[in-house]
Structure formats: C-alpha cells, structure tokens
Amino acid sequence: MPDATSAMLQAKPVVLASASRTRRDLLTAAGLDVEAVASGLDERAVIEAVAAARDPLRPADVAAILAEAKAQTVSEQKSGMIVIGADQTLELDGKLFTKPDTVEVARRNLLALRGKTHLLHSAVALVRDGETLWSLTETAALTMRDFSPEFLGRYSAAAGDAILDSVGCYQLEGLGIQLFDKIDSDWFTILGLPMLPLLAKLRDLGVVET
C-alpha cells in the first residue's frame, strides 16, 4: 500500500551516485524514487591530483569536480537514468580540508577550526548518459566557538567514531551543534545537498511533477 508521500507526488526514478544515507534520506523524504549506487570514485586520489597541479583549484571547484565525476561514473552503468552526484568540501582560510582518517587527525582539525569561520561547499550535478545536464555549488559559513581543549576531549569521546564520518568532524543534528557560535546557511547545504535548487531543476526536467 503506498504511503502518504507517494500518494501525493508523482516522480520518475532517479539514481543517487552515493552511499550517503543522509543524502538518500533527504531525497526520499522529498518524495523521490531513489536508487543509491556508490560511485567507487577514489576521492582522495582526485584531491591529491588537484593539489599537485601547477594551478590548484579552489575548494569549491574541487567539490564541483567530485560531484560531477561521481555522477559520470555511475551514469555509465545506468543508461537513460538521471544520476545525481554530490560532494562537499571544507575550506578554512583558502585551505582544503579532507575527511580525517583517525580520531587524532579529527582532533587536530577541530583545533584548527576552533574560534574561526570555515566554509562548507556543497556541490550537486545531474548527469544522463554521460551528459552533464546541470550543476551547482552552494556555500555555507559556520563559526566555531573558542571551546576549551577539555571540552574537545569530552566531545570526541562522546562522538566516538562518528567524528570521522564528515569532513568537518561534526554532525549539527547531534552533539556537533555544541561546537558552534554562528551558522549562516541553508540547512540542506550544510547536510551536503542543496535541495531547493535541485528539486527545482528536477521539476524542469520533468522528473518531479509541477
């Protein structure tokens, strides 16, 4: 029996080139029929190649490249389907931060972010049969409070391995909100998927009813 959302909305199936549960849940909650397929893209290799270039790209551009590359990779497997690629990068004073490998690296990153404003660049791209139909990058500004090292110790212990799940080492919907003084952004951009412009484009493409 269809649920209330599917009874209200009509949407063609789409593919999400990601294993991110957060992004899939956002799309599903909005009434989309989503198949999630991990791209298998080696993001770290792409980032390292960009960093080694003679003219390194801005962190926002890196997010856009990764989002499109994920969608292109999965599009090869999904003929005729619209594939959504998404990625997010973190920038502090022009420096690109990557997702930490260990809790100790996460702690060092949080100490670097403490008391400062950093940027989250959230990129999304739509690809069908290898053609990029649309792409967009939106940016959120977040200011961390000047928390004590003791608080950081308690936070990292309480968060556990979840501290490694995001590039910023926090989830604002959980304990991570206690790290912040100020947030200037659309909530969906922080979560890594600019939903309002994405849904608008999907309506333009006839994927979601108008």
Tell me the pLDDT tens digit for each residue of 78-133: 999 999 999 999 999 999 998 899 999 999 999 999 999 999 999 999 999 999 99
pLDDT at 30 over 90: yes
SS3 state of residue 88: strand
Buried b (16+ CB within 10 A) or exposed e, 82-95: bbbbbbbbbbbeee
> What pLDDT is stored for residue 11 in this prediction?
79
- Range list of β-strands (E), the chain: 14-16, 34-36, 82-92, 95-97, 117-128, 131-144, 180-184
| Burial of 76: CB neighbours in 10 Å, binned 0-12, 13-18, 19+ | exposed
Backbone angles phi, psi at 180, to 5 degrees: -115, 150
Cα end-to-end distance, the chain, whole Å: 24
- Among 27-36, 44-53, 169-178, 191-200, the range scoring the smallest mean pLDDT is 44-53
pLDDT at 162 over 80: yes
Handedness of CA 168, 172, 175, 181 (dihedral sign): positive
> What is d(CA 143, CA 111) in angstroms, rounded to the nearest whole number?
13
β-strand pairing of 14-16 with 34-36:
parallel
Return the active site residues.
87
pLDDT at 166 over 80: yes
Tell me the pLDDT tens digit for each residue of 58-82: 999 999 999 999 999 999 999 999 9
Q: Quick one: pLDDT band at residue 9, thresholds 50, 70, 90?
A: low
